[in-house]
Structure 1
Amino acid sequence: MTAATVGEALVAGLKARGVTCVFGIPGVHTVELYRGLAASGIRHVTPRHEQGAGFMADGYARVSGHPGVAFVITGPGLTNTLTPMAQARADSVPMLVVSGVNASATLGKGYGHLHELPDQHALAKTVALASEHVARPEELEASLDRAFAPFAAGRPGPTHIQIPLDVAGIESQAGLSTQDSAGPPINSAQITEAASRLSKADKVVILAGGGVKSAGEDLQALAENLDAPVVQTVNARGLMHGHPLTVPASPSLQAARELIQDADCVLALGTELGPTDYDMYATGSMAAMAGLIRVDICAEQLARHETDLAIHAHASEAAAALLAALPAAPKQSQGAQRANQTRAAAYEEIGPDYRQQVEVLNAMRDAVLNALMIGDSTQPIYAGNLYFDHDRPGGWFNAATGYGALGYGIPAAIGAAIADPSAHVICIAGDGGAQFSLPEIMAAVDENLPITFVIWNNRGYGEIAISMEAVDVAVVGCDPTPPDFGPAAASFGIPYTRVPMEPQAIAAALRETSKRGTPSILEINITGSVPGQE
């Protein structure tokens, strides 16, 4: 029996750690990494660009809860994937990028080899939580352990492993290690203290971030016990859908700020308190948070904001522990009334244009229940990030916060659909952002995925144009001509529908596309649009 190569051992190590799918484009510098893939049972999905591989891995991770894995070549493969890695880091998404690198003896020499970079390892380190260089076969398993460690303990994000060309194909000498990393233990004294403070407060407000999206039942029970309105960041949307205590509005809105500032105790669960959620209008400040109790998996993150009580723990575990420590009898503090007033004021605050777009989102949600709604940076996504109550926990996410990378929506939707084949996926992209990654739709065709690609077509980068006009800058470069999406859909071999921006027409079209269970394009024509207005 032939001994396994390093590339084969890599694939075996990934499978042993629960990896069932990788996204990648093979090249001459990764051939040896693919040697054991076909026989492993791990699914391989081929994007059309390495950036697509990274965004697919991101969408897959957000929906599955497991790390998304991308295989990319040396040099341009890795540099093309840095943008998705940066988005994943900003949004705490577990992602592993495995790349080749030039032969060991050539590294840093500047000989001009194919795909050569001055220091690829150092470049990856600027974005990755951990970047591993496998210089010898016996280093592989320890490198895998270190690359997977951030996914189990601490705030997750992207990691990277690179294997030189002269190492990937030689015999592996490593054993198999799948050591799990445990998260921080719950500090019972801190939980008792937090429960005491919360039970004594008259007006509690909960801030829910992406770190608590897997604990919806405990969050709801906690909110009901404390009679506390729950303000959700973008990555927490879908929690407590339709509940009287839910506030599915951006904490940047003045209405939400006033609710938070009126509280005498604020409980922040799994939210980094970042400005793209809490200060998107760049005022330079966030709402004052009296008696702030903060729970986060990242100790460094806890230290970045002044906090009355900082609890280093998984937000989901802490929510359950707090619920158990609180008195059984629920508070009576007019929480539902406070939440209702905030919802109404926030909805009014976003203005008529965004309210119209939220009505479109509501129609989409109601047309296809429990769908995954994934977006790029485009107007209805901005509107929804300000105010939208989705009906599926973790089912609303996009790249319009955090790192803010355009081109995210289409490939991320593909990764999401692979993670949950039972769900219909609605991908919302502007005509401008869609042009960043339109060819990736062919990957959805290859995999026959149930995705409706909704193109919000107003012929340009409208939000940028509006921003330029707002400060008296002449609008330049905001009107790239979009393709004709009907013939584009025909070239992909998928159905195409075009509708006006009318909620019921959009809902009817979505119901039809979702019945097919295959990829399709639904174009929303923005009536009266002109170049430069999105």
Structure 2
Amino acid sequence: MRGMTIGEALVAGLHQRDVTCVFGIPGVHTVELYRGLAVSGIRHVTPRHEQGAGFMADGYARVSGKPGVAFVITGPGLTNTLTPMAQARADSVPMLVVSGVNKTASLGKGLGHLHELPDQLGLAKTVALASEQVSDTNALGPVLDRVFHSLTNGRPGPVHIEVPLDIAAAEYQETPAATRDPEPPVDPVLITQAAKQLTEAKNVVILAGGGAKRVEAGLQALAATLDAPVVQTVNARGLMHGHPLTVPASPSLNAVRALIEGADCILALGTELGPTDYDMYATGRIAEMSNMIRVDRCSDQLTRHKVAHTIQGDANVVVRALIEALPHEAKQSGGAKRASKTCAAVWEEIGPDYRHQVEILNAIRAAAPNALVVGDSTQPIYAGNLFYDHDRAGGWFNAATGYGALGYGIPAAIGASIADPTARVICITGDGGAQFSSPEIMAAVDEKLPITFVIWNNHGYREIATSMQDVGVAVIGCDPSPPDFAAMAKSFGIPFTTVPPEPQTIAQALRKTVARGGPAMIEVTAAPFEPQKD
């Protein structure tokens, strides 16, 4: 009786670790991975490019909370996936990329084999938290144990496994499962110290980042106890929707900086305090933060900024412990008034163009409540990242911060929809970004996914053109001709409509796509960039 191959055992090992979907394009170097896939019960989704596979895995992970998994071939398959891995690393998204690699005896010898790289494992290590090779028939179990430990302990990110061709087809030899220590418990002394500092402070402000995005109820309760406004970075939007203490605005804005600098104690939950959130205008500094208590799962992160106290641990665990340690009588420090005043100042600060686009986002939210809104780098997304209160925790995310990879929106929306098929997914991308990854829409068609692709068509890269003009550089290369999106939608076999950039008109078109179900496309015909005349 034939035993399992390493390829089959790897798929079985993923199934045992609660992997229910993989995104991949099969090739001659991953055939053995697919031998066991058909009988595994794991769903396979076929993107049109390996970059799409990685971004789909990213979107899936953000919505499901489980690692997104991509299968890619040796060489170009892996290099095409490095950009999504880098985006996942920047945003702490758990992702597993499994690739093939040439036969063990040929590695590093430059013999000219198909898809050969000088050092594929080393290349992956430049962006992965861990990159491991299944080097022999006894290595698979320990490798899976180690990479899943990396995915589920500490700060998450991308990991990589490569399987040589000769090993993938060899017979699997089972090894005992490794035992690993769980994450250490949160130190109760640190909780007591932090609670004392928070109790004594007069004006607390909470900064919530992506590490807090599954702590919605606890965060709201903690904020109410402290009467503290909650500033949410892009990846934390939706945690405080409609709450009187919410400040769903970029901490780069002057009004938000003033709120932060007016606090006598800052509680930073799961935020790396990175410049794409805290200094997007490149002023060279972030807001001054007095008596900061910083909470993060990553010990390295906790050493990167001057703080009063650090607490290493999961934000959900720490928030619950702080609530228990604080006095049960809520503070009265005018938190709601401070939050409201800040939001009003932000509304004025962002200016009329961005206000109009936020009004469009508000209309979209009303037309499709509790939707997942997945974005690319485009005008409405920039506006929303500055100031927008989404109505679903973890339901607003995009690649316009962090690593900033263009072409993210369409495939990430597909991964998000696979993770939650009950949700309407709205992908907002520009005509430029859409041209990076529009073939992936066919994967949404294949899978019959309820995604509305909103294409903001301003005939080019307006943000880049404006940046070039602002510093006196001739605007070149920012006006690539957009395709005929109506013809594109027809070729995909999906409904299409084109509308002007008006809130209620866009909302009406969106309601029709939601009612119809399945994938659809809405083109918003925005004004193109007009260079200033001397």
Name the TM-score class by shorter chain: over 0.9
8 Å CA contact 2:469–2:531 kept in 1: the answer is: no
1:399 equivalent in structure 2: 399
Is 2:9 the partner of 1:23? no
The correspondence of residues 87-486 of structure 1 with structure 2, limited to 5 A, is: 87-175=87-175, 177=177, 182-486=182-486
* Contact 2:462-2:529 within 8 A present in 1 as well: no
Mapped partners of 1:182, 1:497: distance in 2: 52
> Distance in 2 between the 1:448 and 1:177 partners?
39
Residue 184 of structure 1: how far off its partner (Å): 2.9
Q: Write the distance in 2 (CA, Å) between the matches of 1:180 and 1:323.
A: 30
Structure 1 runs of 4+ with >3 Å offset: 175-181, 530-533
Q: Is the 8 A contact 2:151 2:159 kept in 1?
A: no
Task: Say if 1:462 and 1:532, in contact at 8 Å, map to a contact too.
Answer: no
Alpha-carbon distance in structure 2 between the residues aligned to 1:235 and 1:532: 33
Deviation (angstroms), 1:516: 1.7
3-state secondary structure, aligned to 1:456: strand
The letter of the residue matching 1:305 is H
Please list the CA deviations of residues 76-103 of structure 1 after superposition, one character each: whole Å capped at 9, or x if unmatched. 0000000000000000000000000011
> Hey, what's the Cα distance between the residues in 1 that align with 2:346 and 2:529?
29
What SS does structure 2 have at the residue aligned with 1:138?
coil
The answer to whether the 8 Å contact 1:191/1:321 transfers is yes
1:305-343 superposed Cα distances (whole Å, 9 cap, x missing partner): 111000001111101110111000000000000000000
TM-score by length of 2: 0.98
Question: d(CA) in 1 for partners of 2:241 and 2:32?
Answer: 48
Report which stretch shifted further, 516-525 or 181-190: 181-190
The amino acid that maps onto 2:281 is: Y
1:434-475 CA deviation, whole Å, 9 max, x = no partner? 000000000000000000000000000000000000001000
- Aligned residue number for residue 522 of structure 2: 522
Partner in structure 2 of residue 61 of structure 1? 61
Aligned partner of residue 177 in structure 1, secondary structure: coil
Q: Do the aligned partners of residues 50 and 178 (structure 1) sit closer, same or farther apart at CA in structure 2, a change above 3 Å counting?
A: farther
Contact 1:101 1:165 in 2 (8 A): yes
Q: What SS does the aligned partner of 2:139 have?
A: helix
Corresponding residue for residue 490 of structure 1: 490
Shift of residue 422, structure 1, vs aligned partner: 0.4
Partner amino acid, structure 2, of 1:294: R
**Using a 3 Å threshold, how does the CA distance of structure 1 residues 531 and 496 change in structure 2: closer, same or farther?**
farther
* Distance in 2, Cα, partners of 1:181 & 1:331: 39
> Given that residues 58 and 68 in structure 1 are in contact (C-alpha distance below 8 angstroms), is that contact kept between their aligned partners in structure 2?
yes
User: Is the CA contact (8 Å cut-off) linking 2:250 and 2:385 kept in structure 1?
Assistant: yes
- Percent of paired sites with the same residue: 70
* Aligned residue identity for 1:83: T
Asked if structure 2 preserves the Cα contact closer than 8 Å seen for 1:297 and 1:312, the reply is: yes
1:140 alignment partner AA = L
Q: CA deviation at 1:154?
A: 0.6
Aligned residue type for 1:442: M
**Kindly tell me: are residues 55 and 260 of structure 1, through their superposed partners in 2, closer, same or farther at Cα, counting changes over 3 Å?**
same
Report the 3-state secondary structure (helix = DSSP H, G, I; strand = E; otherwise coil) of the residue aligned with 1:37.
Answer: coil
CA contact (8 A) 1:153 1:184 kept: no
Listed one character per residue, the Cα deviations across residues 42-80 of structure 1 (whole Å, up to 9, x for unaligned) are 000000000000000000000000000000000000000
Tell me, yes or no, if the aligned pair for 2:462 and 2:528 is still in contact at 8 Å.
no
In the alignment, is the contact (CA less than 8 A) between 1:149 and 1:181 conserved in 2?
A: no
Distance 2:179 2:446 in 1: 36
2:162 maps to amino acid: Q
CA distance in 2, matches of 1:273, 1:181: 29
Please give the TM-score of this superposition, normalised by the length of structure 1: 0.98
SS in 2 for 1:243: coil
Residue 176 of structure 1 deviates from its aligned partner by 6.4
Unaligned runs of 5+ in 1: none
Opposite residue 56 of structure 2, the aligned amino acid is: M
Q: Counterpart of 2:39 in 1: which secondary structure?
A: helix
User: For 2:11 and 2:530, how far apart are their aligned partners in 1?
Assistant: 49
Distance 1:238 1:525 in 2: 28
* Shift of residue 430, structure 1, vs aligned partner: 0.1
CA offset at residue 151 of structure 1? Answer: 1.9
Q: Distance in 1 between matches of 2:185 and 2:391?
A: 32
> What do residues 365-405 of structure 1 show as CA deviations (whole Å, max 9, x unaligned)?
11100000000001110110000000000000000000000
Deviates more, 1:169-178 or 1:272-281: 169-178
RMSD over equivalenced CA pairs, Å: 1.1
**SS class of match (2:407):** coil
The residue identity in structure 2 corresponding to 1:521 is M
CA–CA separation in structure 2 for the residues paired with 1:446 and 1:182: 40
